[in-house]
Amino acid sequence: MTPAELSHADLRLEVGGGVATITLDRPGVRNAQRPRMWAGLARILDELDESVRVVVLRGAGGTFSAGLDLSLLDPAQPDEEGNFVATLALDDRAIIDQIDVFQRPFAMLADPRFITVAVVEGHAIGAGFQLALCCDLRIATDDARFCMKEPALGLVPDLVGTKPLVAAVGYARALEICATARTVAGTEAGEIGLAQVVVPAAELDAALAATVHALTAHPHGAVSATKALLQAAPARSLDDQRLAERTAQVARFRDLAAAFAPAAGE
Ligand code: ACO
């Protein structure tokens, strides 16, 4: 994407050393999300080259994201990309198709080609919480604040966050967090498995660097194939998972053999 396209999408992108860092860049409104940001995110993820092993997602200005741009729910404030209230004029199928498009970048974060890491400081509310949940790992400050606000607004979380939330904390805790729309502090997020690393704000960048270093230390193919195995494990029978392990290992053996094979003519 060109710098102008990134700026239009309210995103920043840095790529180097096998790591792509995507920054939600609307600090003036706490990185509130709108469709142009989701479309930009989908394009970035689509266009990442094969060398990228880790995708870091973070927010500008000391907060992750305050969720959906609430002006989109205000009929008095039409947005250039369409006020969500206008969506009510569509038939059910069209609304479902529209949400499908919005969900796409959230789902793309599960791609086994790379490991995705959300860096959560400040607030992760609603769509912000769901975006963090769609990443494989969450590194949070101890005073970060996660909140699934949607039920309080009469909505359901529909940006791919429900499945990873249940996977992270279990059904009962997920229901309690969503139904009450309460705020979960970073410290608690660490205790219940919502965040994998929790540190004081001053240590956030060092913790991120250490995590990224560890995630990029081992062969890319093995790490990606392992991510794919683990992702699919809950939905498979034991026998199907064993088969998937065997099949993946054959591909690993072939890769390793090719890497150690003497070059032709040696
Ligand atoms: N959409 C649009 N603008 C927002 C949003 C949002 N989600 N969140 C914050 N802003 C704007 C505020 O209106 C304010 O604008 P202004 O400077 O023009 O007045 C600016 O960002 C700063 O916000 P403050 O409330 O002053 O910042 P503070 O740090 O005190 O609070 C907080 C941050 C807690 C995130 C608060 O702004 C908030 O509760 N925002 C709304 C969160 C929300 O309900 N999101 C929707 C969830 S549901 C979903 O995502 C589907």
Write down the ipTM of this complex.
0.98
Which numbered atom of ligand 1 lies nearest the CA of 125? Answer: 47
Tell me phi and psi for residue 81, to 5 degrees: -100, 15
CA angle in degrees (0–180, nearest 5) for 207-210-211? 85
- Name the maximum alpha-carbon separation found in the chain: 74
pLDDT of residue 76: 78
For the ranges 4-8, 70-74, 97-101, 206-210, the lowest mean pLDDT is seen at 70-74
Which numbered atom of ligand 1 lies nearest the CA of 29? Answer: 21
Per-residue pLDDT for 265 more than 60?
Answer: no
Kindly report the number of other CB atoms within 10 A of residue 42's CB atom: 19
End-to-end CA distance of the chain: 43
Q: What is the mean pLDDT of residues 149-157?
A: 97
Burial 131-158 (b: 16+ CB within 10 A, else e): bbbbbbbbbbbbebbbbbbbeeeeeebb
Cα(164)–Cα(115) distance, integer angstroms: 15
67 in contact with ligand 1, CB cutoff 6 A: yes
Which numbered atom of ligand 1 lies nearest the CA of 123? Answer: 35
Ligand 1 centroid to 66 CA: how many Å? 6
pLDDT of residue 73: 86
Of all protein residues, the one whose alpha carbon is nearest to atom 27 of ligand 1 is 30
Please tell me the pTM assigned to this model: 0.96
With the C-alpha atoms ordered 13, 35, 54, 129, is the resulting torsion angle positive or negative? positive
User: Is there a contact between 99 and 35 (Cβ–Cβ < 8 Å)?
Assistant: no
Residue intervals of the chain classified under CATH 1.10.12 are 220-260
For the ranges 71-80, 96-105, 197-206, the lowest mean pLDDT is seen at 71-80
**Fold (topology level) of 3-215:** 2-enoyl-CoA Hydratase; Chain A, domain 1 (3.90.226)
Ligand 1 centroid to 115 CA: how many Å? 29
73 in contact with ligand 1, CB cutoff 6 A: no
Of all protein residues, the one whose alpha carbon is nearest to atom 28 of ligand 1 is 30
Q: What is the mean pLDDT of residues 102-113?
A: 98
Of all protein residues, the one whose alpha carbon is nearest to atom 18 of ligand 1 is 29
pLDDT tens per residue across span 213-263:
999 999 999 999 999 999 999 999 999 999 999 999 999 999 999 988 876
Of all protein residues, the one whose alpha carbon is nearest to atom 20 of ligand 1 is 29
The identity of residue 266, as a single letter, is: E
Percentage of the chain modeled with pLDDT above 90: 89
Residue 15 in 3-state DSSP? strand
Per-residue pLDDT for 85 more than 80?
Answer: no
- Which CATH number applies to 220-260? 1.10.12
Picking from 203, 183, 182, 184, the residue whose alpha carbon sits closest to that of residue 139 is 203
Q: What share of the chain is helix, strand, coil (3-state, %, to 5)?
A: 55, 15, 30
Mean pLDDT of the chain: 95
Per-residue pLDDT for 179 more than 90?
Answer: yes
pLDDT of residue 262: 73
Of all protein residues, the one whose alpha carbon is nearest to atom 47 of ligand 1 is 126
Per-residue pLDDT for 75 more than 90?
Answer: no
Cα(55)–Cα(89) distance, integer angstroms: 37
Residue intervals of the chain classified under CATH 3.90.226.10 are 3-215
126 in contact with ligand 1, CB cutoff 6 A: yes
- Which of 24, 25, 30 to mutate for ligand 1's pocket (most ligand atoms within 8 Å of CB)? 30
Instruction: Name the β-bridge partners of 12.
Output: 23
CA angle in degrees (0–180, nearest 5) for 145-154-150? 25
127 in contact with ligand 1, CB cutoff 6 A: yes
195 in contact with ligand 1, CB cutoff 6 A: no
149 in contact with ligand 1, CB cutoff 6 A: yes
Per-residue pLDDT for 74 more than 90?
Answer: no
Ligand 1 centroid to 30 CA: how many Å? 6
Of all protein residues, the one whose alpha carbon is nearest to atom 23 of ligand 1 is 29
| 11-16/19-24 β-pairing | antiparallel
Per-residue pLDDT for 138 more than 80?
Answer: yes
pLDDT tens per residue across span 9-24:
999 999 999 999 999 9
